[in-house]
Amino acid sequence: VDAFQAWCGPCKTVVDLFRKIRNEAGSDLLHFAVAEVDSIDALEKYRGKCEPVFLFYAGGELVAVVRGVNAPLLQKTILEQL
């Protein structure tokens, strides 16, 4: 989940990376989403940050967090979680 604030919008620079990983992994277990933290109370702790935050869930539980746009770390985290 790309957790973003309304004033900055979702991180558009990683959309291509996510598409590439999705195509390469070809996994039905892999889903990407965006969430505006300003309108979701459960994501309140991510408000007020000026860096992108990527949340990784498995089985309904938060399993990893990547702060900032770090393509190698995002890719590594996604593949590890699969």
pLDDT score of 65: 94
Q: With respect to residue 47, please indicate whether it lies within any of the assigned structural domains.
A: yes
pLDDT score of 8: 79
pLDDT score of 11: 75
Amino acid identity of residue 12, one-letter, is: K
pLDDT score of 74: 92
- Number of domains into which the chain is organized: 1
Q: Which domain holds residue 55?
A: 2-70
Q: With respect to residue 78, please indicate whether it lies within any of the assigned structural domains.
A: no
Q: With respect to residue 79, please indicate whether it lies within any of the assigned structural domains.
A: no
Amino acid identity of residue 20, one-letter, is: K
List the beta strands (DSSP E) in 1-82. 2-4, 34-36, 53-58, 61-67
Q: Is the pTM of this model over 0.95?
A: no
pLDDT score of 64: 96
Q: With respect to residue 27, please indicate whether it lies within any of the assigned structural domains.
A: yes
Q: With respect to residue 82, please indicate whether it lies within any of the assigned structural domains.
A: no
Ordered mean pLDDT values, 10 residues apiece, the chain (82 residues): 82 81 82 89 85 90 92 91 86
Q: Which residues contact 80 (CB under 8 A, 6 or more apart)?
A: 64
